[in-house]
Amino acid sequence: MRGKHSFGAEKRRMSDTALVLTLLTVGGAIYLISFLWIATVGARESHANEPPPHAGEPSRHH
């Protein structure tokens, strides 16, 4: 019982670092994937739905 408890404490200490690393890795991956996905979909949609020059976006002309 005592050995199991100490092993659990050791595992807990290890999993704290592993948890932070996992969260950072997963968070970074999700951020990158979502950014690339939004950029790809946004570019595709803007090309597909290109508004005519008189659509009321003068900032595109300048």
* Domain residue spans of the chain: 2-46
Look at residue 28 in the predicted model and tell me its pLDDT.
97
**pTM, 2 dp:** 0.45
The secondary structure of residue 55, as a DSSP letter, is S
Local mean pLDDT, 10-residue blocks, the chain (62 residues): 59 78 96 95 77 60 58
Determine the residue type at 53. Answer: P
Rg (CA), the chain: 25
Look at residue 25 in the predicted model and tell me its pLDDT.
97
Look at residue 43 in the predicted model and tell me its pLDDT.
83
